[in-house]
Amino acid sequence: MKRVLGVIPSRYAAMRLPGKPLIKILGKPMIQWVWESASKALDRVVVATDDKRIFDTVTGFGGEAIMTPASLPSGTDRMAYVARRLKADYYVNVQGDEPLMHPQTIRDAVKLAMAKKGIATSAMPLNDDFNNPHVVKVVTAADGSAIYFSRSLIPFPRDGESKMPVLKHLGLYVYPKAQLLKFVSLKPTKLETTERLEQLRALYHGMPIFVSVTKHDSIGVDTRPDVAAVERKLRSQGR
């Protein structure tokens, strides 16, 4: 039996929405929504944070948290910090600002990572908002691995109509332990810093990322209107 550990990187000092892990969504802090959703898919979920307020909130609602150094540059580095201390075969990075991430999306990505023995992520068909740079798109190869991720529309419909569906990338990654530690040992690339997409570091260095396509959408929370959109979605689900 492979051991799988969910890790939710969470920091207080978000640039566009400071303190967003603790912002209330229908009366509960956002980090609690994320933890509860991930816990429906995974046996163990840990919040990795550099902020005592987040740590105390998580442990206060019965979750598990671990303090990480404030100097770590990214959520993936916080994951690696946890991976060096808590044993597992696969580590699932559930973004701390994705309160609508569906448990089945997480399960499917884990299953794919295990089948491919590699990094896996998730995407869903995108029907509009094609030119929004905050919506990351992904194009896949015949084997389901990612060819490229971009904030621009890909593939570009030169003749005015796309011959294949546009896929919206969702903020979820599953790493085998060795590949997680290899990834964080690599320096950021110019490709990554140009698009400001960390996953391009893996593709640049020849580390495939396999894409699980789901029907379940998720909304990344970066602004107050995003909070309102999440609340509307949760109300529509009767929650």
Residue pLDDT, tens place only, 101-116: 999 999 999 999 999 9
Query: How much is the pLDDT for 17?
Result: 81
Distance from C-alpha of 123 to C-alpha of 113, rounded to nearest angstrom: 14
Domain-embedded: residue 15? yes
Domain-embedded: residue 192? yes
Domain-embedded: residue 138? no
Domain-embedded: residue 136? no
Distance from C-alpha of 236 to C-alpha of 1, rounded to nearest angstrom: 37
Distance from C-alpha of 40 to C-alpha of 104, rounded to nearest angstrom: 9
Domain-embedded: residue 66? yes
Amino acid identity at 173: Y
Domain with residue 68: its CATH number is: 3.90.550.10
Print the domain residue range for 41.
Answer: 4-120+171-236
173 - beta bridge partners?
A: 93, 121
| pTM of the predicted protein model | 0.94
Instruction: Give the number of domains in the chain.
Output: 1
Q: Would you say residue 185 has pLDDT above 90?
A: yes
Tokens of 204: 């640049």
Any idea which residue has 């005015």 for tokens? 160
